[in-house]
Structure 1
Amino acid sequence: MSNSERICVGAIAGAFGVQGEVRIKSFCAEPEDIANYAPLSTEDGTRVFEITLTRPLKNGLGARIAGVATKEQADALRGTTLWADRGHLPSLPDDEFYHADLIGLQVVDTGGAKIGTVHAVHNHGAGDILEITAPSLKQALLLPFTKAIVPTVDLSAGRIVIDPPDEM
């Protein structure tokens, strides 16, 4: 199954306690919804996880994973991303997008000039940031993913239109 058919919905942040419980960082708008998108798997699909949420934690959720009974087993999963089949996820309103759908889109300015491609989408708590790369750029261009700066996202055409501030 290709990554376009699967969406990264979270990651295992490591062990919580000594009984095999893990701390999960959810990338869902409602963090607890991650449990509704089972089965969850690794990025390459080679491992499938049966996850039961146990409690809210600071910066994440506590969870039990079937077959994980020790702190060492839980720690071994640290950094593992959790992927769900796109079909298990809700449809989004017209002005919302899964990060996976934005990565790889061609970026053009309002005049149609090619700028580059979306390399990644970051969110450090204050909103989404698009990382745009191109051979002509010395370093990646980081733009807030707002309606003012990104007025058009056309998934069917595989491109986004940006209107960056004049100082950029």
Structure 2
Amino acid sequence: MSSNQQPIVLGKLGSSHGIKGWLKITAYTDSVEGIFDYSPWLINDQGQWREVKVNQWRPQGKAVIAELEGVTTREQAQILTNCEIAIMPEQMKELADDEFYHRDLIGCEVTNNNGYNMGFVDQIVETGSNDVLLVKANAKDAFGKAERMIPFVPEQFILKVDLQGKQILVDWDPDF
């Protein structure tokens, strides 16, 4: 694993299920089953990332469970409970030109359509209706803001996203 590439966390291993080493899976992907589109997984086992393969998986009630290669007993599974599941960035699916991952927006500079530099995207907050950019304002913000929350609504508030230039153009009042 390259030192400049950090794994992308997609979920975590839950409690053991049964006596044959199966584990419940908590997925952060759009659909719970989507986590199984990626292989191999990396798991963070006691602070060290190591590769694991999923032998098989299945729905179990409202959850999903999986059998990992080399994990054949309940005791082995219990040791892995709460380990993060991740993949390397190059394993991420290719997106259409007008789509991007949340992680791609972090660190982008945000400027409004009047040229005012509003700061940079610190994080994305998921709400029920739409995502919201949490923008950390510049240290000497003219409006005295520490941060701004800008709804991620393309064509209404988000005018342009330039991932190559790490720029986002917004229609947003800097005093709001």
Fold match (TM-score > 0.5): yes
Which protein is bigger by CA-based radius of gyration? 2
Whether the aligned pair in 2 keeps the contact of 1:108 and 1:116 (CA below 8 Å) is: yes
SS of residue in 1 equivalent to 2:94? coil
Which residue is 1:161 aligned to? 169
Which AA in structure 1 matches 2:25?
A: I
Residues 61 and 114 of structure 1: is their aligned pair in 2 closer, same or farther, counting only changes over 3 Å?
A: farther
Q: Which runs of 5+ in 1 are unaligned?
A: none
Which residue is 1:50 aligned to? 53
Which residue is 2:17 aligned to? 17
Map 1:1-168 to 2 at 5 A: 1=2, 2-3=4-5, 6-8=7-9, 10-12=10-12, 14-15=14-15, 17-19=17-19, 20-42=21-43, 46-51=49-54, 52-55=56-59, 57-58=61-62, 60-68=63-71, 69-70=73-74, 73-74=77-78, 76-78=80-82, 80=84, 82-134=85-137, 135=139, 136=141, 139-147=146-154, 148-164=156-172, 168=176
Which AA in structure 2 matches 1:39?
A: P
Q: Sequence identity of aligned pairs in percent? A: 24
In structure 1, distance between residues paired with 2:24 and 2:149: 30
1:166 deviation in Å? 8.7
In structure 2, distance between residues paired with 1:37 and 1:77: 20
Which AA in structure 2 matches 1:114?
A: N
In structure 1, distance between residues paired with 2:61 and 2:75: 17
In structure 2, distance between residues paired with 1:57 and 1:120: 33
1:49 deviation in Å? 2.5
Tell me the TM-score normalized by structure 1: 0.75
In structure 2, distance between residues paired with 1:66 and 1:97: 32
Residues 13 and 126 of structure 1: is their aligned pair in 2 closer, same or farther, counting only changes over 3 Å?
A: farther
Tell me the TM-score normalized by structure 2: 0.72
Cα-Cα RMSD: 3.2
Whether the aligned pair in 1 keeps the contact of 2:53 and 2:68 (CA below 8 Å) is: yes
In structure 1, distance between residues paired with 2:58 and 2:64: 7
Tell me the number of residue pairs that the alignment of Structure 1 and Structure 2 aligns: 164
**CA deviations over 1:36-63 (Å, ceiling 9, x no partner):** 22112147872223233221653x5322
In structure 1, distance between residues paired with 2:170 and 2:8: 24
In structure 1, distance between residues paired with 2:145 and 2:175: 17
Whether the aligned pair in 1 keeps the contact of 2:118 and 2:174 (CA below 8 Å) is: no
1:31 deviation in Å? 3.5
1:110 deviation in Å? 1.4
Residues 88 and 13 of structure 1: is their aligned pair in 2 closer, same or farther, counting only changes over 3 Å?
A: closer
Which AA in structure 2 matches 1:27?
A: Y
